[in-house]
Amino acid sequence: MQLPAILFLLWPLAEISGFIIVGKWLGLFATLALIVATTLLGLIVLRSNGISILTKLRGQRADANPETVARTVLDGTAQVFGGLLLIFPGFISDILGLLLLIPLVRSILWDYLRPRIVIRRGRDTQSGPSYRAPTPGVIDLDEADYHRETPKGDSPWNKPPHDGPA
């Protein structure tokens, strides 16, 4: 848990260092123009990819390969996340955002994440529920297996709300 906190503290320092280095190399106005340009690029990416991922997912057939659908979702998510990183001011986040827009990088990301993703087909009206061997440590409940019971007896959760002082 300490690593995320350290990264959270060091990230702004790294971005500020990037501003200083690039500012010395390019100058103030060129650095500011570069930040504004990457922000605008991020907005364009978000606008175009937000719409295109919905179009791609709607165009997929119901009997499409679930792995193809998962890859489409991952590609779209990576592109949207790349657009968000471009919007944030800073050159490190811009570099990471631009990397997520490259198809080869997204393909490498898919190859890395694919073994860690569990793809499960939904219920099909013709073939019934899909079966998958249970994963150790995971309890899978259907709608019929889970129901909420109201507590019985004297419980503070059963009492009606109090409207104010008596």
Enumerate the domain spans of the chain: 11-116
Report, as an integer, the average pLDDT of 135-158: 68
Give the C-alpha separation, 128 to 132, whole Å.
13
> pLDDT-based confidence at 33, cuts 50/70/90?
very high
SS3 content of the chain, % helix, strand, coil (to 5): 60, 0, 35
> pLDDT-based confidence at 38, cuts 50/70/90?
very high
Give the C-alpha separation, 20 to 117, whole Å.
40
pLDDT digits (tens, 9 = 90+) for 70-122: 888 888 889 999 999 999 888 999 999 999 999 999 999 989 988 887 776 65
